[in-house]
Amino acid sequence: MVMVEMGGGRLIVIGGNSGLNAALGVRKRNQNMEIHVFRADDYGKYSTCGIPFVLAGIIKDMEELRMDPEGFYEENDIKLHSSERVIRIDDDASSIETESGAVYDYDNLIIATGRMPFIPPIEGLELDGVSAISSYRDALKIQKMMQTAKSAVIIGAGAIGMEVGSAFAEGGIKTSIVEALPSIFPQTLDTDMALIVQKYMEKIVGLKIYTSSIVKAIKGSDRVECVLLGNGESIPSDLVIISTGVRPNTKLAVDSGIEVSITGAIATNSGMQVKKGRSYLDNVYAMGDCVEVINGVTNRPMILALASTAALQARVITENILGGSAILEPCVGPAAAVVSGMQVGSVGITSNGAAATGMKCIHGYGKALSRSFYYPGACEMHMKLLFTLDGRIIGAQIISWEDVKERTNMICMAIKNGAHLDELLSYERCYTPPLSMLTDAFTLALEDARGNMRKNV
């Protein structure tokens, strides 16, 4: 990186999690700018994605997740304002006001206020033993409760709920997961693929999974004793985790007149600048779990609360603050989760998601081994690919015990390129017995889709 002498000015970042990536990006290329980061809480930046693996005992200590160790802010010349909640942005004056009444001017501002857990209105939320799982504090509390818990219910079977369920079950806690929708991983997997994961989690890991089931109440006196389902069934439980998703934390934006869209998240332009009234503000950016992005398949706004999306947004904002003109492309949300060793990848749209927007698509399935049939350690890989009616790839779901993530990334690239299935079939692919089959799940899924496309025509 060529370091050019740059002007100073002051950058204020509201939120000390993903926003810190942008702060660091700016600092890396500009030594003169004054950078302030405001946190509403008083703990550091932790990798929240790592929490389920601490609960699983795979990572020994929560402190290993710490991203801002002792000396971090000094080394990077960032002024951290801990436990200092920002309550107002005055974009006319280019200043912010904090809870304590202090006012700070800014030259550039980044809003990275993150998310809040979505807590459905259920009777009994106040009981001891009931917790959301969103923050460092939640994690510490759950870790402690796990030491004595014999049974647990997790409400919500998204990636976090499933990862925590896996951690509990492997820790010897009798664990049930209750999901209101018809299948687990409802945002990222179709029912057919979700059933592969469900079967494994039930038969091998020992989770009990209730789909299409709602929680009517959490029962107990002081401490939780059981979870009552809509069908009348009662699940005894010492511990209840609410993992029913997150919502963008937009109070500050709303209070400051910054536009929040119908998705409930802050709307930005592709340069990540926020909107007020009829115009985008030149020097106010927003990023992370509090903003919406454009879905690269449907072209509609959506919320994609992924650390990887925030990292791209940080890159765009850094570039733009430093005088560039970067944009965030529409997103297709490649994501992977690991539950009891099983890797679940997804990108683009699901059949369910397509149907919801009235999109018609063709799919293809492939099932093969992850290595040559004769190579030790080969395991099953399941792949579902989705295409537009004319054969452009728009989605993938991949399940195996290895090799899932980079396949998901590759298909992400293919979706962004509008790749046709015939083009995908024509690509060369590495073959070596310890790492692949000559004809693998991807090729089989492409061939299956081609057959389905011919039938469709």
Residue of 58, 93, 102, 379 that binds a copy of itself (CB under 8 A): 58
Q: Is 278 in the site for a copy of itself (CB under 8 A)?
A: no
**Minimum distance of a copy of itself from residue 78's CB (angstroms):** 18
Q: Which of 220, 151, 166 is nearest to 57 (CA)?
A: 166
**Minimum distance of a copy of itself from residue 385's CB (angstroms):** 15
What per-residue string of b and e applies to 342-356 under the rule 16 or more CB within 10 Å gives b? bbbbbbbbbbbbbee
Stretch of 58-66, 124-132, 253-261, 357-365 contacting a copy of itself, by CB under 8 A: 58-66
Residue of 131, 151, 298, 309 that binds a copy of itself (CB under 8 A): 309
Stretch of 45-53, 100-108, 142-150, 350-358 contacting a copy of itself, by CB under 8 A: 45-53
Contact 318, 310 (CB under 8 A): no
Residue placing its CB nearer to a copy of itself in the complex, 24 or 228: 24
Backbone angles phi, psi at 342, to 5 degrees: -80, 130
Stretch of 49-57, 84-92, 166-174, 231-239 contacting a copy of itself, by CB under 8 A: 49-57
What per-residue string of b and e applies to 396-425 under the rule 16 or more CB within 10 Å gives b? bbbbbbebbeebbebbbebbbeebbbeebe
Distance of CA 287 to the CA centre of its chain: 14
**Minimum distance of a copy of itself from residue 405's CB (angstroms):** 4
**Interatomic CA distance for residues 421 and 437, integer angstroms:** 19
Q: Is 71 in the site for a copy of itself (CB under 8 A)?
A: no
Residue of 9, 50, 206, 230 that binds a copy of itself (CB under 8 A): 50
The residues facing 343 across adjacent strands are: 338, 400
Distance of CA 107 to the CA centre of its chain: 30
**Interatomic CA distance for residues 419 and 397, integer angstroms:** 17
CA atoms within 13 A on the CB side of 302: 20
Residue placing its CB nearer to a copy of itself in the complex, 107 or 423: 423
Starting from the edge strand earliest in sequence, which strands make up the sheet with 234-236, in order?
215-221, 223-229, 234-236
Q: Is 335 in the site for a copy of itself (CB under 8 A)?
A: yes
Residue placing its CB nearer to a copy of itself in the complex, 149 or 437: 437
Helix (H, G, I), strand (E, B) or coil at 444: helix
If binding means CB under 8 A, how many residues of this protein chain bind a copy of itself?
65
Can you give the C-alpha Rg of the chain in angstroms? 23
Contact 267, 248 (CB under 8 A): no
Residue of 201, 412, 444, 449 that binds a copy of itself (CB under 8 A): 412
Stretch of 106-114, 119-127, 212-220, 410-418 contacting a copy of itself, by CB under 8 A: 410-418
Contact 399, 393 (CB under 8 A): no
Helix (H, G, I), strand (E, B) or coil at 260: strand
Residue placing its CB nearer to a copy of itself in the complex, 172 or 451: 451
Q: Is 439 in the site for a copy of itself (CB under 8 A)?
A: yes
CA angle centred on 157, ends 298 and 341, rounded to 5°: 100
Stretch of 140-148, 171-179, 218-226, 417-425 contacting a copy of itself, by CB under 8 A: 417-425
CA atoms within 13 A on the CB side of 147: 6
Burial of residue 330 (CB within 10 Å: 0-12, 13-18, 19+) is: middle
Which residues does the annotation mark as catalytic?
A: 49
**Interatomic CA distance for residues 358 and 365, integer angstroms:** 22
Q: Is 302 in the site for a copy of itself (CB under 8 A)?
A: no
Q: Is 76 in the site for a copy of itself (CB under 8 A)?
A: no
Residue of 14, 112, 260, 404 that binds a copy of itself (CB under 8 A): 404
Q: Is 325 in the site for a copy of itself (CB under 8 A)?
A: no
Q: Is 456 in the site for a copy of itself (CB under 8 A)?
A: no
**Minimum distance of a copy of itself from residue 312's CB (angstroms):** 6
**Minimum distance of a copy of itself from residue 408's CB (angstroms):** 5
Q: Is 430 in the site for a copy of itself (CB under 8 A)?
A: yes
The token duo for 409 is 């990334």
Q: Which residue ranges make up the site for a copy of itself (CB under 8 A)?
A: 1-2, 47, 49-50, 53, 58-59, 64-65, 306-309, 311-312, 315, 329, 331-338, 343, 345, 347, 372, 374-376, 403-410, 412-414, 416-417, 419, 425-436, 438-439, 447, 451, 454-455
